[in-house]
Amino acid sequence: MISLINNGYPTKVIIILLCLSASCSEPSPFRIVIDAGSTGSRLHIFEFINNDDGNVECIRRGSSKAWVKLSAFANDNKEKPLNATHVAHHMLNVFEYASIIIPLKYHSSTPVRIAATAGMRLLSTEDQAHVYDALHKGLLEQVDIGRFTFTALKREDIMTLDGDREAFFGAVSANYLKGVVDAQLRVIVSDELDYDDKGLCTNKFGMCEEHAENILRIPNKKHNEAIPLDDRGICTNKFKMCELDAEDVIFGSYISQNSKHDVKKHGVLGALDMGGSSTQIVYRHTTDRISRKDETIVANESSEDDLMMDIPSHLKDEEFFSTSYLSYGADQFRVRLWDLWISEAQEKDSIDDDDPIILNPCSFVGYQMVYKRHKLLGTGNSILCAKEINRLIPHHDNVIDLDELYDDNMESTRIKEQVEANGKMVGGIKHPPVTGKYMAMSLYFFTLDCLRELSDNDHPINVHWPTPTIDELKHALESFCARSWKDDLEEVQHEAHEYTMAEILPHRCLEAVYMVTLMEDGFGFHPSKRDITFTHKVDGNEVEWSLGLALSEYAAEKEE
């Protein structure tokens, strides 16, 4: 040790080098999952512990984000190798954050998964491999100087997560957070729930949502007046990372203590996820049959509330319909719709080349923007917007003719006949009928919560939030999209909604109409049922696929 010090090695490096030996390594209860998404890479730390009941529980120990997306390192010159040090450097801070949370003795044995999603899926397989090779090489270069200590990371632990797996992991996360499954994905059947349950009763009068439909809900305040506007949170670690950088640090139980899902009545939860590039849907479909008493009846033949779902013993991905639509994320879909309008306008030569204007029913009234040298002028017509969106939902190559669509006598009969003949289809993929209850996360929540926030307090979407029906959402869309941009939304764009930045607000009409149309006309959800809960967090814990990946790997190891 003295010779190392004399050679210029700092004490911290000496300790790490010694602890990387086999004698210092202990099996780690921690897991690191990095979600390498299209806006950056978020590192999540999970710990599996034995709780007071003797059961294994997954606890989230913290998260931190690198604000550079992994796909940005792709190099068009395939013959020139990437700078491994440069690629790895953007992730070092989040790993250093993890080194604070996870005790040193577990660093070398903690499993690490770096899983990229839609942003990397848009690249070729060769480009993805080049980035991953460089990232792995660059991180290992930092071991000797002590900046990267999680040496259990192997090259195969850096990968692109396919959309189907991402969707399934989202469903695993939703079911775990709602207490449907335990840490080994075993389904928990509770006898404590009352099957006449009318909702979660939380007010002093014991009134559930179904019995207290007209309760006005006051929107949350946007800012706490006691906190300075430039406040960055409480900085508590040696890297001066504030809450803004080390987000959502949770030291507690993941499982909801307030509202557990009734698995006997509704089966296991499905999940809907929407990002900028792709959207996912996942639900259990191995049986379309449910039972009541000693009978077995086809689910679609009855709508009685006392029917009991078939209950699996474990969550198994082979029993789920799980798919991802790569070009159906909110941003990608918007661009495809705009490209369609411009293409048709150019073919019909119906616009003046000197001042090309296209009427945009999917934007707020009067909002104007330029896209590919064409002006798009908002008219705020949610009904016409839904018809335009429906042209691209069955398949991006299956574009419905505008002349027929605008025919008042035909209305949307062609779309309905097409769906009835071919079954429900999105992106050219047929899927079985949707059944059971669902949690909708990510942009589904952010966008539709904006719709709720900007609707009247006594509107049904506010009264029944977070489980409004599709019909209630559609009704709210009409007045939402019809709002004027000038002298209205433009004035409040910086504070209109907690989860909506000013530059995103102009697109919220299109996003909201798209999601509602996709759920009803694409996936086939019933317009008047409360089958979908729109959520961002359950008891302070974010619903995200990274938790599902950690749980699935833990369960697989225990099964082996």
Q: Do domains 24-258 and 332-537 have the same CATH topology?
A: yes
pLDDT level of residue 94 (50, 70, 90 thresholds)? very high
Around Cβ 262, how many Cβ atoms within 10 Å?
Answer: 17
Mean pLDDT of 63-85: 84
Of 116-120, 184-188, 306-310, 408-412, the one with minimum mean pLDDT is 408-412
Q: Indicate if the pLDDT at residue 292 is higher than 60.
A: no
Q: Are 532 and 525 in contact (CB under 8 A)?
A: yes
Cis peptide leading into residue 356 (ω within 30°): no
Instruction: Please name the helix (run of DSSP H) or strand (run of DSSP E) that holds residue 481, with its range, or none.
Output: helix 470-481
Q: What is the pLDDT of residue 541?
A: 75
Of 89-103, 151-165, 252-266, the one with minimum mean pLDDT is 252-266
Mean pLDDT of 218-239: 36
Q: What is the pLDDT of residue 5?
A: 41
Q: Please tell me the pTM assigned to this model.
A: 0.73
Closest CA to 386 of 279, 503, 471, 273: 471
Measure the N-to-C terminal CA separation of the chain; round to a whole number of Å: 41
**Token pair listed for 148:** 């990267």
**Single-letter code of the amino acid located at 179:** G
Name the residue ranges covered by the structural domains of the chain.
24-258, 332-537
Collapsed DSSP state (helix, strand, coil) of residue 250 = coil
| DSSP label of 327 | G
Q: Indicate if the pLDDT at residue 197 is higher than 80.
A: no
Q: Indicate if the pLDDT at residue 287 is higher than 90.
A: no
Residue count of the chain: 560
Residue 46 pairs in a beta bridge with 31, 60
| DSSP label of 83 | -
Q: How far apart are alpha carbons 279 and 163 in whole angstroms?
A: 8
Mean pLDDT of 492-516: 96
Architecture of domain 24-258: 2-Layer Sandwich (3.30)
In angstroms, what CA-CA distances link 51 with 43, 57, 481, 538? 24, 6, 49, 19
pLDDT level of residue 481 (50, 70, 90 thresholds)? very high
Q: Indicate if the pLDDT at residue 385 is higher than 50.
A: yes
Q: What is the pLDDT of residue 36?
A: 93
Mean pLDDT of 443-449: 96
In angstroms, what CA-CA distances link 423 with 213, 303, 390, 523? 35, 21, 15, 10
Q: Are 201 and 207 in contact (CB under 8 A)?
A: yes
**Token pair listed for 158:** 């850096």
Q: How far apart are alpha carbons 118 and 133 in whole angstroms?
A: 19
**Which regions of 23-101 does DSSP assign to beta strands (E)?**
30-36, 41-50, 56-66
Q: What is the pLDDT of residue 164?
A: 87
Q: Indicate if the pLDDT at residue 60 is higher than 50.
A: yes
Q: What is the pLDDT of residue 191?
A: 62
The residues near 89 (Cβ < 8 Å, ≥ 6 apart) are: 138
Instruction: Please name the helix (run of DSSP H) or strand (run of DSSP E) that holds residue 534, with its range, or none.
Output: strand 532-534
**Token pair listed for 303:** 């709508």
Q: Indicate if the pLDDT at residue 411 is higher than 90.
A: no
Residue 439 pairs in a beta bridge with 271, 533
Q: Indicate if the pLDDT at residue 77 is higher than 50.
A: yes
Around Cβ 457, how many Cβ atoms within 10 Å?
Answer: 12
Q: Are 199 and 210 in contact (CB under 8 A)?
A: yes
Per-residue HEC secondary structure of 247-299 comes to: CCCCCCECCCCCCCCCHHHHCCCEEEEECCCCEEEEEECCCCEEEECCEEEEH
Q: How far apart are alpha carbons 33 and 24 in whole angstroms?
A: 23
Q: What is the CA radius of gyration of the chain?
A: 25
pLDDT level of residue 126 (50, 70, 90 thresholds)? very high
- When mean pLDDT is compared over 287-291, 295-299, 481-485, the highest value belongs to 481-485
pLDDT level of residue 22 (50, 70, 90 thresholds)? very low
* Mean pLDDT for the chain overall: 78
Q: How far apart are alpha carbons 387 and 415 in whole angstroms?
A: 9
Q: Order of strands across the sheet with 56-66?
A: 56-66, 41-50, 30-36, 112-116, 158-160
Q: Indicate if the pLDDT at residue 256 is higher than 60.
A: no
Q: Which fold has domain 332-537?
A: Nucleotidyltransferase; domain 5 (3.30.420)
pLDDT level of residue 542 (50, 70, 90 thresholds)? confident
- When mean pLDDT is compared over 47-61, 136-150, 408-422, the highest value belongs to 136-150
pLDDT level of residue 496 (50, 70, 90 thresholds)? very high
Q: In the chain, count H helices and then E strands.
A: 17, 20
Q: What is the pLDDT of residue 219?
A: 37
Helix, strand, coil percentages in the chain from 3-state DSSP, rounded to 5:
35, 20, 45
- As to burial, measured by CB atoms within 10 angstroms (0-12 exposed, 13-18 middle, 19+ buried), residue 423 is exposed
Q: 372 or 22: which carries more pLDDT confidence?
A: 372
Helices 470-481 and 382-390: angle between axes, nearest 10 degrees: 120
